[in-house]
């Protein structure tokens, strides 16, 4: 059976990297053509599709007309179907990316392959959310989001696994600079995860991230009583506690569950401080942000030092899947906060219902200074 695969290329992605521009979000209009000429993302997409075509699987590629995919596929000689009109855009903007992703979704493609960075992932999350699985071909400058494969070849192989029915999808956090210039979790995508191929006789099976998160949530909720005021930080691992408590967490903001059962979504710092100051038994569930290992100061500025101190370190549960924390070396979690935090030091991190690890929580600025010395 032929699977319809949407292909989306950010034509200028990756250009900023070598120029130390930290991405192409702020690319001057005059340099747009130069970036298109470089065709970094188009090249990476071609690598991914070549890898897929070698692996096999019945797929029809669908791309929108012009620079957001069809041009690059045609140049690489890859057979595809083009969605025409509106006419091809000369200089694309993020609005065009969003529009293209929506058109591919409306066209009924079953999986979307895109080449770009965190900015492109953010636009796609805004456009289609979690309505279809998305594979990121790493082609940008910043690629902290969990939707990216480790290499273009890996993305191609993952696409083959999706088409052969060997993959299942999980929620993936999209990280980027959000409103107010703070970086953190800005959206969610549905990302396929392939079952790793056989590695050897002693291979162990690691439970999927979502089942570990559910295990942590069940354990935390089971060992609490009705007097607890729950504060649920951003991210899917912390969010699982919200689901266990019976509501749909915002995932991007901080949610509160009062002992009465009342749920307040996406509360701000001022209100949060009032809530935890008044609460008899506040408990904070705090996740770890993406591949950077940030605990505070990335998309969760609501959790200010005064909020943390009011809750108390002993009532803070740091949660993360083993997959996420084992990728952090050295095993350090970072705080980007203005005032000294009581969280600094070795802290227990829950990684499963009966499992935990220990991470060194440090002030990111201090960490940077010590690295400089």
Partner 1 sequence: MSTIRRYHAAAWDEAIVFELGAPGRRGVVPPASWAPPSTEPSFAPGLRRESPPALPELAEYEVRRHYTHLAQQTLGMMGVSLFGTCTMKHNPTVNEQVGARHEIAEVHPRQDPSTYQGVLGIVHSFEAELCNLSGMSAFSFQPGGGADAAYLHAVITRAYHASRGELAQRTQVVTTAQAHPCNPAAAVSAGFEVITLPIEEGGYPSVAALKAVIGPKTAALMLNNPDDMGIYNPHITEFIDAVHDVGGLAFYDNANFNGVMTRLRARELGFDACMFMLHKTFGAPKGGNGPSVGAYGCSEELARFLPGPRVVKNGEAYELVEPDGSVGRVREFLGNVPQVIKAYSWTRAMGTEGLRTAADISVLANNYMEKRLMAIRGVSMSLPGKALPRLEMTRYSLEEYRVETGLTGGDVQNRMTDFGIDAFWMSHEPWIVPEPFTPEAGEMWSKEDLDEWIDVLEHVLEEGRRDPELVRTSPHNQAVAQIDGSGLNDPETWAVTWAAYRRKHAQV
Binding site for partner 1 (CB under 8 A): 51, 54, 151-154, 161, 164, 166, 195-200, 202-206, 322-323, 325-326, 329-331, 345-348, 351, 354-360
d(CA 277, CA 301): 17
- Which residues are 176's β-sheet partners? 184
Tell me the two tokens of residue 260: 């009465």
d(CA 191, CA 169): 5
Block residue for tokens 């409103």: 179
Nearer to partner 1, 163 or 189 (CB): 163
Nearer to partner 1, 93 or 203 (CB): 203
Tell me the two tokens of residue 333: 């979690």
**How would DSSP label each residue in 191-213?**
EEEEPPPP--TT--PPPPHHHHH
The CB-based long-range contact list for 339-346 (8 Å cut-off, 24+ gap) reads 339/305, 340/305, 341/296, 341/305, 341/308, 342/308, 342/309, 342/313, 343/295, 343/296, 343/308, 343/313, 343/316
Nearer to partner 1, 1 or 30 (CB): 1
Q: What is the DSSP letter of 168?
A: E
- What is the closest distance, in whole angstroms, from the C-beta atom of residue 319 to partner 1 in the complex? 14
- What is the closest distance, in whole angstroms, from the C-beta atom of residue 45 to partner 1 in the complex? 15
Block residue for tokens 């010395």: 373
- What is the closest distance, in whole angstroms, from the C-beta atom of residue 107 to partner 1 in the complex? 29
Length of the chain: 373
d(CA 191, CA 147): 6
d(CA 281, CA 315): 8
Nearer to partner 1, 8 or 47 (CB): 47
Nearer to partner 1, 181 or 200 (CB): 200
Reported as type and span, the H/E element at residue 185 is: strand 183-194
């Amino acid at each position: 059976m032929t699977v319809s695969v949407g292909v989306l290329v950010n034509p200028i992605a990756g250009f900023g990297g070598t120029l130390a521009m930290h991405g192409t979000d702020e690319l001057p209009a005059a340099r747009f053509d130069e970036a298109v000429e470089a065709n970094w993302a188009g090249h990476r997409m071609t690598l991914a599709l070549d890898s897929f075509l070698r692996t096999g699987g019945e797929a029809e590629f669908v791309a929108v007309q012009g620079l957001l995919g069809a041009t690059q596929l045609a140049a690489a000689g890859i057979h595809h179907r083009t969605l025409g009109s509106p006419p091809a855009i000369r200089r694309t903007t993020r609005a065009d990316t969003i529009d293209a992703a929506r058109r591919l979704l409306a066209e009924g493609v079953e999986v979307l392959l895109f080449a770009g960075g965190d900015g492109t992932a953010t636009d796609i999350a805004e456009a289609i959310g979690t309505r279809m699985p998305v594979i990121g071909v790493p082609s940008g400058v910043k690629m902290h989001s969990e939707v990216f494969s480790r290499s273009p070849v890996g993305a191609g192989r993952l696409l083959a696994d999706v088409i052969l029915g060997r993959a299942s999808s999980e929620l993936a956090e999209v990280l980027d600079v959000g409103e107010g210039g703070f970086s953190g979790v800005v959206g969610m995508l549905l990302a396929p995860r392939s079952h790793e191929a056989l590695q050897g006789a002693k291979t162990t099976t690691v439970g999927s991230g979502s089942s570990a998160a559910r295990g942590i949530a069940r354990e935390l909720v089971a060992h609490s009583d009705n007097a607890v005021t729950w504060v649920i930080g951003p991210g899917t691992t912390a969010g699982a506690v919200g689901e266990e408590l019976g509501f749909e967490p915002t995932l991007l903001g901080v949610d509160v569950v009062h002992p009465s059962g009342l749920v307040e979504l996406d509360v701000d710092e001022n209100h949060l401080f009032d809530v935890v100051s008044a609460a008899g038994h506040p408990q904070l569930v705090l996740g770890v942000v993406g591949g950077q290992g940030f605990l505070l100061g990335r998309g969760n500025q609501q959790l200010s030092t005064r909020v943390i101190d009011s809750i108390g370190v002993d009532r803070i549960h740091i949660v993360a899947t083993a997959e996420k924390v084992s990728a952090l070396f050295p095993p350090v979690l970072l705080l980007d906060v203005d005032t000294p935090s009581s969280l600094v030091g070795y802290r227990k991190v829950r990684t499963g219902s009966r499992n935990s690890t220990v991470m060194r929580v440090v002030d990111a600025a201090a960490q940077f200074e010590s690295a400089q010395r």
